[in-house]
């Protein structure tokens, strides 16, 4: 029975350990256990004699990195994130993995514990059977992909290196070789409070923000008219959150918006923010804050070694292979920025990620493991 293959058993174990990303909420209760999941993964690797590092990215939220030295000339990074999104609106028990109709259900089953299980099993298979993989392997299970991408960034800052890599996300076993990046920041309007009966004595920050938002809308529309990237389209800008004012009888002295900017590969932070500041010229009382989130877009050439070798393995195992591009951002943006050509690949359908009945097709998980094993052979 396929349900009893080691990779599916491992996936069920991973899903049973809740590892929700707090995503800005207080980290209370047992559902935010990225640390417990990290400890499980570390023990899984160490039990097989794999040299393993656990480093705390923030309190209770570590990265786990295992190193398999095959004495090979090249090193491959196999990465997947430990965290999942929230389980608030789930219609199934999020942390009791259920196998039904060839699927495994549970929060994180698709995004992205299926990739984690497939990568771990494929690599550990070599160790357990005392065979040498074709590459040295860096197995990375990182925290906080779903919110701030701090795990991958921390791993890179601590010297994570490889010749190429695969970031595990549900791509339906297709290769995603390019995706957009995302940069988010706040813009504050600062005014002067006064009683609302005497508005002339204050400076209304909401009125200031209204002008700012109009300028941002114009800027966003202009981006949509730029020459599109052949696969990724144009960059975008969207104001997604506005907050301001304390009470209706007070002229508000502050207002803030949060801006979401989707970027193309190669766009720099300065190149993103300069036009924003420029567009606000002539207005007073605003501050463009430094981005609190920035993941670069990425593009790995179609003929690069990682695309070609992974495509060949997919062909051998599945008989067909699709190389595509995506609009969502992943940890791969950070690894590419750090000089590690990294594609996105994994079992599961992105349409299932983050949903109320999240699940993954078991057959895809088993095939993903076989593909990675082929790649390492
Ligand atoms: Zn994911």
pLDDT at 2: 67
Q: How many angstroms does the Cα of residue 330 sit away from the middle of ligand 1?
A: 7
d(CA 196, CA 190): 17
pLDDT at 24: 87
Q: How many angstroms does the Cα of residue 186 sit away from the middle of ligand 1?
A: 25
pLDDT at 288: 98
| Packed helices 114-128 and 6-15: angle between N→C axes, nearest 10 degrees | 130
Burial (CB < 10 A; 0-12, 13-18, 19+), residue 229, is: middle
Give 138's contacts (C-beta < 8 A, 6+ positions apart): 65, 66, 67, 75, 76, 77, 78, 160, 161, 162, 165
Catalytic, out of 34, 79, 83, 253: 83
Give 186's contacts (C-beta < 8 A, 6+ positions apart): 256, 257, 258, 259, 289, 292
- State yes or no: is 299 an active-site residue: no
Instruction: Give all strands (DSSP E) within 143-271, no chain letters.
Output: 164-167, 175-179, 181-190, 194-195, 236-244, 250-251, 254-263
The per-residue pLDDT string of the chain (377 residues; one tens digit each, 9 = 90 and over) reads 466 799 999 999 999 999 999 998 888 888 999 999 999 999 999 999 999 999 999 999 999 999 999 999 999 999 999 999 999 889 999 999 999 999 999 999 999 999 999 999 999 999 999 999 999 999 999 999 999 999 999 999 999 999 999 999 999 999 999 999 999 999 999 999 999 999 999 999 999 999 999 999 999 999 999 999 999 999 999 999 999 999 999 999 999 999 999 999 999 989 999 999 999 999 999 999 999 999 999 999 999 999 999 999 999 999 999 999 998 899 999 999 999 999 999 999 998 888 999 999 999 999 999 999 999 99
Q: How many angstroms does the Cα of residue 132 sit away from the middle of ligand 1?
A: 30
Classified as helix, coil or strand, 75 is: strand
pLDDT at 28: 85
pLDDT at 89: 86
- State yes or no: is 374 an active-site residue: no
Q: How many angstroms does the Cα of residue 146 sit away from the middle of ligand 1?
A: 6
Catalytic, out of 125, 145, 331, 358: 145
Classified as helix, coil or strand, 138 is: strand
Q: How many angstroms does the Cα of residue 115 sit away from the middle of ligand 1?
A: 9
The DSSP element (H or E) to which 361 belongs, if any, is: strand 359-361
Q: Domains in the chain, ordered, with CATH?
A: 2-179+297-376 (3.40.630.10), 181-295 (3.30.70.360)
């Amino acid at each position: 029975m396929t349900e009893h293959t080691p990779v599916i058993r491992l996936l069920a174990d991973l899903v049973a350990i809740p590892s929700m990303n707090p995503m800005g909420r207080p980290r209370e209760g047992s559902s935010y256990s990225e640390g417990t999941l990290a400890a499980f993964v570390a023990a899984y690797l160490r039990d097989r004699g794999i040299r393993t590092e656990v480093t705390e990215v923030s309190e209770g939220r570590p990265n786990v990195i295992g190193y398999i030295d095959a004495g090979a000339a090249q090193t491959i990074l196999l990465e997947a994130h430990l965290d999942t999104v929230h389980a608030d609106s789930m219609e199934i028990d999020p942390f009791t993995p259920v196998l039904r109709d060839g699927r495994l259900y549970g929060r994180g089953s698709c995004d992205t514990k299926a990739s984690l299980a497939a990568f771990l099993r494929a690599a550990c298979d070599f160790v357990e059977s005392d065979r040498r993989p074709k590459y040295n392997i860096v197995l990375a299970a990182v925290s906080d992909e779903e919110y701030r991408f701090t795990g991958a960034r921390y791993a890179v800052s601590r010297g994570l290196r490889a010749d190429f890599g695969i970031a595990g996300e549900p791509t339906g076993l297709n290769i995603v070789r390019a995706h957009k990046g995302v940069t988010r920041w706040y813009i504050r309007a600062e005014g002067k409070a006064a009683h609302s009966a005497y508005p002339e004595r204050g400076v209304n920050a909401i009125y200031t923000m209204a002008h700012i938002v109009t300028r941002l809308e114009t800027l966003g529309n202009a981006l949509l008219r730029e020459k599109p990237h052949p696969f990724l389209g144009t960059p975008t800008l969207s104001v997604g959150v506005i907050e301001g004012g304390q009470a209706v009888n007070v002229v508000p002295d502050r207002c803030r918006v949060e801006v979401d900017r989707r970027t193309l590969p190669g766009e720099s932070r300065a190149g993103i923010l300069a036009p924003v500041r420029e567009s606000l010229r002539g207005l007073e009382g605003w501050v463009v804050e430094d981005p609190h989130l920035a993941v670069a877009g990425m593009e790995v050439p179609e003929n690069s070694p990682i695309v070609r070798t992974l495509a060949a393995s997919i062909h051998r195992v599945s008989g067909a292979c699709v190389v595509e591009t995506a609009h969502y951002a992943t940890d791969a943006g950070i690894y590419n920025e750090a000089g590690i050509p990294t594609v996105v690949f994994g079992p599961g359908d992105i349409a299932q990620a983050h949903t109320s009945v999240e699940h993954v097709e078991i057959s895809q998980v088993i095939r993903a493991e076989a593909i990675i094993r082929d790649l390492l052979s």
